[in-house]
Amino acid sequence: MVPEIILNNGVKIPSLGLGTYQLRGKNVERVVSYALDVGYRHIDTAMAYTNEKRIGTILQQNDVPRADIFITTKLWNIDHGYEAALKAIETSLQKLSLDYVDLYLIHWPVEGFIETWGAMEEILASGKARAIGVSNFMIPHLEKLLATTKVVPFVNQIECTPYLHSREILEYCKKRGITITASSPLTRGTKLDDPRLINIASNYGKSPAQILIRWGIQHGLVEIPKSTQEHRIKENIQVFDFMISKKDMKELDGFNEDLRVHGSSVHKKLAEKYLG
Ligand code: NDP
């Protein structure tokens, strides 16, 4: 139902998944299990979201075969360094009750990410992750990483919407075969009442959220919207039965206002550090 994108090592990633940031408590079970019921086969979590254990419980209870589900998790900032990273994947796997994750990402480019990447390569070789990648890496971080590593990250998970359309990093990653997963693809809801977006959505009989997701899909991004509400979880996956026209894509592309809804101050600090 959801088209897949082939990563540089041949691993297929569903182009749409469920985001789970701030999904906690009983909500995790309800939301993840409902998402699987309506066709989601890709779940995005992280050690820092503290919901891996509950997601693991649902994966065990659910009838969908493990091979049909794509699980991404991320190494947290306190787990950088070679030995710590090797330990961190074990902890995540244990919490998720899994033998392997499909994608393991470095959550943020904090100090020590080069040493950590050495461990990521080993995690890939051992089969504990089918693919490895990074998150929140801007061009200077990627430059630093690529100068010293053997394996080029298969994925970079960064914020990307029509309102934060950073063409330079998208182009940079595309040239190097790095697939982009767009975090906060719905701008955390902050732009869903933009009249220009509502106007485009009405042309297709779709919601503003569906237009934002479809925009990313048509740009070749992996989209991971999060919702706690059943009708929205369902709505967010119903984006494969229409195409946004070239003209409307162009209009959406022009919405850029460098709006970052997540971690903008951390981002600035990390960018400045590596820009020297
Ligand atoms: P999103 O951009 O996915 O927006 C989620 C918000 O939009 C929620 O408030 C939700 O409310 C609302 N919403 C969802 N669907 C609809 C809809 N159809 N119509 C109207 N409102 C809707 O925000 P996130 O920040 O959660 O990003 C998505 C995922 O990206 C995260 O969950 C996480 O997995 C990942 N992420 C990764 C980061 C990183 O550092 N790598 C940083 C940030 C996010 P409600 O729940 O009430 O429906």
> Residue 108 sits in a domain of what CATH number?
3.20.20.100
Beta partners for residue 14, in sequence order: 4
For residues 95 and 47, what is the distance between their CA atoms, to the nearest angstrom?
Answer: 9
In the residue annotation, 49 being an active-site residue is answered as yes
Rounded Cα distance between 132 and 85, Å, is: 12
> What secondary structure does DSSP assign to 52-105, as a single string?
HHHHHHHHHHS-S-GGG-EEEEEE-GGG-SHHHHHHHHHHHHHHHT-S-EEEEE
Return d(Cα 185, Cα 211) in angstroms, integer: 10
pLDDT for 274 equals: 59
- Both tokens assigned to 48: 């820092």
Q: Euclidean distance between the first and final Cα of the chain, in Å?
A: 46
Ligand 1 pocket mutation, candidates 198, 214, 226, criterion most atoms within 8 A of CB: 226
Q: How many domains does the chain have?
A: 1
Residues with pLDDT less than 70, the chain: 268, 271-276
Q: Which amino acid is at 169?
A: I
Residue 266 has a pLDDT of 75
Rounded Cα distance between 72 and 103, Å, is: 5
| Confidence (pLDDT) at 252 | 98
Express each pLDDT in 76-104 by its tens digit: 999 999 999 999 999 999 999 999 999 99
Query: pLDDT tens, 209-218?
Result: 999 999 999 9
Instruction: Say which of 49, 82, 163, 204 is annotated catalytic.
Output: 49
Of 186, 197, 228, the residue with max ligand 1 atoms within 8 A of its CB, to mutate for a pocket test, comes to 186
d(CA 92, ligand 1 centre) in Å = 22
- At 243 the pLDDT is 98
Q: What is the pLDDT of residue 186?
A: 98
Instruction: Determine if ligand 1 sits within 6 Å of the CB of residue 232.
Output: yes
Residue 272 pLDDT:
64
Interatomic CA distance for residues 13 and 26, integer angstroms = 27
Report the pLDDT value the prediction gives residue 265, as an integer from 0 to 100. 75
Domain that holds residue 251: 4-274
CA of 50 to the centre of ligand 1 (A): 16
- 185 within ligand 1 shell (Cβ under 6 A): yes
